[in-house]
Chain A
Amino acid sequence: MAIELTQSYKLATQLYDVSLKADVLVIGGGPAGAWTAITATQNGASVILVDKGYCGTSGATAPSGTGVWYIQPDKEKREEAMKSREALGGYLSERKWMKRVLDRTYANMNQLENWGYPFPIDEKGVAHKRSLQGPEYMRLMRRKLNKAKITILDHSPALELLYDSHGVAGAAGINEQTNQTWSVQASSIVIASGGCAFLSKALGCNVLTGDGYLLAAEAGADFSGMEFSNAYAITPKFSSITKTAFYNWASFTYEDGSIIEGAGSQRGRSVIAKKLQEGQKVFAQLVKAKDDLDLQKWMRIAQPNFFVQFDRMGINPFEDRFEVTLRLEGTVRGTGGIRIVDETCATSVPGLFAAGDAATRELICGGFTGGGSYNAAWAISSGYWSGEAAAKYASSFNRDKRDRALTRKQVIGINEHSSGKDFLDATEVTKRVQAEVTPFDKNLFRTEEILTPALLRLNTLWNETKTSLQENQGNLLRVRESAAMLATSRWMYTTALERKETRGMHKRLDYPVLDENQHYRLITSGLDEIKVKPTTILQNT
């Protein structure tokens, strides 16, 4: 009988069933990765894109759709757009970046129209490009990637980066459907693997477990804004559909039907969280749209899946009250992520770039949620820039050097030998991380008193996992995901403890106001030993 080698053993000993080469490797095939891949190809690079799920349906945008920060190049309109989130974001954004993103997004959205995206057209023949239907958008992007002959590996999560004497030189992972191991050698790598929502089942988010953060940190990259990592979204209690726009038409009530004062979708989300935390049930009804049948029809067309959830439960959201809850979206609709060091979206590691939700979005929206149009614009723009720069970086490599001996670093969870019987299972690690990051009284309403012991438990867990987290019955992906979520939670809380004020989405009950003296970004680095240091923000003009 042939002995089945574990995935862990094969990766640890570099036994790859499939070995490929390209100039640029893109990790993640959401909007950011898709724009990266297309732009890198347009700049002459050969590209391989790997996705944990399926490029076209996977990630936060594909099943959801997005509003996009698409603003006409009109001085006043742009000024208004830039101003709109500056204060909410605690003035941690930069005008220079906003301008670039507005320009780039404008150009690329127009490109999408040329590619055939069916934007709605009004009576005057004007196309409206401020929102994208997720399935349509991502199906189109997939077609474009295919047309450009980009190699796509679906169901192929990257589990570690590979290195040679020049630095990062590729990545390795597994194929979830064939169980084969793969490696890709590349001159430059773009991490576009989205944010981290801690397997909360928020829409499209269960593939988003912070994998790219872990890969980047293992290569030596650092983070910015990890305190802005506590986004929660309203959803019917039973549902995964964390689409929040239509709650602007909602009233929120207690079980007995009386109104919850101050509860709301945008500003009043904390009120809802407080009630839920007290153990109260919270109900919603889209009562403000109750008598407007045209509006109801438009809503159905704008967000079909918002209504699928109700139709299938026999609920009429305009007439009936339904119970709601808040699902954690972590950094996905937060703003923290891998730090960008220049206009090309390079990280602090040469040859390694970051795009989309994987990167920090503080540059354009500071400390307040990037959802609602900013993140989508950032995914498009940062994808474009990193694709361009990754192609240039790759072409600066001498082609003879391209047969490179790839080596690996020892990383958490990928071991040649099993550590014996008393190992830690990925499910257990994930559960323990979720227990620290999901509750509102820890992550949403933050205090030193609660965060300090939570962080201590997470740090202790990290030390345990270093020696005893291991693959169990072919679940290496789950192992690495759990390690990534654990690391992410520690970057979040270490940073949250350092920011002793309330700014953007970071709420400290023990420091409830904004402190002018903390007008800086926080840079977080390290795996075992986590360090946080402030950095000043360029003058805004």
Chain B
Amino acid sequence: MIEILLEDQCVECNLCVKVCPTNVFERRDGKAPKIARQDDCQTCYMCELYCPVKALYVAPNADEVMGITEQDLNETDLIGSYRSSIGWEKGQKSTAKQDLAYKFYLK
């Protein structure tokens, strides 16, 4: 489930509010949006993918809140990492182009 929204990092673009299919976030005036309905999160990672500044982290547990904090992930580069693994960061190319699925299992 969505567990981290780094308010300091957030540029208040509200893209996460817009793209979350299950309407988990809530827009706030002059502030970062808030995770308002965590229970409704379906762990689809789409908000993290669209966030332009690595301010979001979706924890992999779909059923329970894991209680992960920014400190827990200090030593890692996991926050917002889904975006670069798909090649959506600035200066990157979509990884779809390198998908060799046709070679190794979609023969």
Contacts and interface: CB of A to CB of B under 8 A. Distances in A.
A239 B61 contact: yes
Nearest to B26: A177
A131 interface: yes
Interface in A288-319: 295, 298-302, 304-305, 307-313
Given A130-B101, A240-B42, A313 B21 contact: no
Contact of B95 (A133, A204, A245, A295): A133
Interface in A436-495: none
Interface string A126-153: 0010111101100000000000000000
B60 A245 contact: no
Interface string A188-227: 0000000000000101111100000000000000000000
Contacts of B27: 177
Interface in B17-55: 17-23, 27, 40, 42-46, 49-50
Given A54-B19, A312-B60, A240 B97 contact: no
A245 B23 contact: no
A269 B81 CA distance: 32
A250 to B, nearest CB: 13
Q: Interface size bucket, A side?
A: 35 or more
A304 B42 contact: no
B99 A133 contact: yes
A432 interface: no
Contacts of B60: 238-239, 241, 308-310, 312-313
Contact of B100 (A57, A207, A302): A302
A136 B43 contact: no
A41 interface: no
A366 interface: no
A59 B44 CA distance: 10
A118 interface: yes
Given A57-B46, A135-B86, A308-B82, A302 B21 contact: no
A131 B23 contact: no
B46 A62 contact: yes
B99 A58 contact: no
B50 A308 contact: no
B69 interface: no
Contacts of A63: 44-46
14 contacts: A53-B21, A59-B21, A118-B96, A130-B102, A131-B102, A133-B99, A136-B94, A207-B42, A240-B42, A298-B101, A298-B104, A302-B99, A302-B104, A312-B78
Given A59-B21, A301-B98, 11 more contacts: A122-B102, A131-B102, A176-B23, A204-B42, A204-B44, A238-B62, A240-B44, A298-B103, A301-B99, A308-B81, A312-B78
